[in-house]
């Protein structure tokens, strides 16, 4: 059986943050051009006669990562204490290995799929927990100072970093129920994967 696998994005379903856990049954509400273009591509696939599946991964981490995860790695490697210990909002991540396993799972599924599936590890972490895991991989203590979120937000606004604050202070949890129903499991717990990423990239 041939099946077309489209690597979409969680941004086809939701914006940069969400107040509750996002599931595949939720109505897609992309908030930017990138997310809307991914959703349009998914809908175009749905109009074909193909057996298809669109995977909507959350933030991906692994060797060679760029963007937000690369910035997080740089923070973890800095020698300084970080004022981020008070950030408790959780975000879902997925490792490159887990995403590869998700592609394998949908290719092996015996029945037609023809839908979009969220790809996310099942254990969302706060930014403080991510940094703790990364620094553990480097053999270091967390070094996080619990500055109140309101004060941190005010500082970011006064220094023109309001968008940055929104990315780190707000959560985005996602459930990969469809993949789990196909027998997919993550390659490793997220904390272990982050620690290995920092250790192997050191």
CATH number of the domain bearing residue 109? 3.40.50.720
Q: What is the pLDDT of residue 113?
A: 93
Q: Which residues pair with 7 in a beta bridge?
A: 55
What whole-number distance in Å separates Cα of residue 83 and Cα of residue 138? 19
Segment-wise mean pLDDT, segments of 10 residues, the chain, 202 residues: 90 89 93 95 93 95 83 88 88 95 95 95 93 95 87 75 69 95 95 92 62
pLDDT at 18: 86
Q: What is the pLDDT of residue 1?
A: 55
Strand, helix or coil for residue 108: helix
Domain count, the chain: 1
User: What pLDDT, on a 0 to 100 scale, did the predictor assign at position 41?
Assistant: 96
The pLDDT score that the predictor gives to residue 168 is 66
The closest alpha carbon to 4, from 94, 111, 106, belongs to 106
Alpha helices in the chain (DSSP H): 33-46, 67-77, 96-108, 127-137, 149-158, 162-169, 177-181, 190-201
Range of the domain at 90: 4-201
């Amino acid at each position: 059986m041939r099946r077309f696998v489209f690597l979409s994005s969680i941004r086809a379903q939701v914006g940069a943050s969400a107040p509750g856990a996002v599931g595949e049954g939720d109505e897609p509400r992309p908030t930017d051009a990138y997310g809307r273009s991914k959703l349009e591509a998914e809908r175009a696939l749905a109009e074909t006669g193909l057996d298809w599946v669109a995977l909507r991964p959350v933030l991906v981490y692994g060797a060679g990562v760029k963007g937000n995860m690369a910035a997080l790695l740089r923070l973890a490697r800095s020698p300084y204490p970080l004022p981020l210990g008070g950030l408790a909002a959780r975000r879902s991540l997925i490792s490159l290995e887990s995403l590869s396993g998700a592609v394998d799972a949908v290719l092996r599924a015996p029945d037609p799929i023809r839908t979009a599936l969220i790809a996310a590890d099942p254990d969302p972490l706060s930014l403080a927990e991510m940094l703790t895991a990364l620094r553990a991989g480097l053999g270091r203590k967390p070094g996080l100072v619990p500055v109140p979120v309101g004060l941190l937000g005010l500082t970011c606004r006064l220094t023109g970093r309001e968008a940055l604050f929104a990315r780190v202070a707000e959560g985005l949890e996602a459930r990969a129920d469809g993949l789990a129903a196909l027998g997919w499991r993550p390659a490793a717990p997220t904390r272990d994967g982050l620690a290995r990423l920092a250790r192997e990239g050191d």
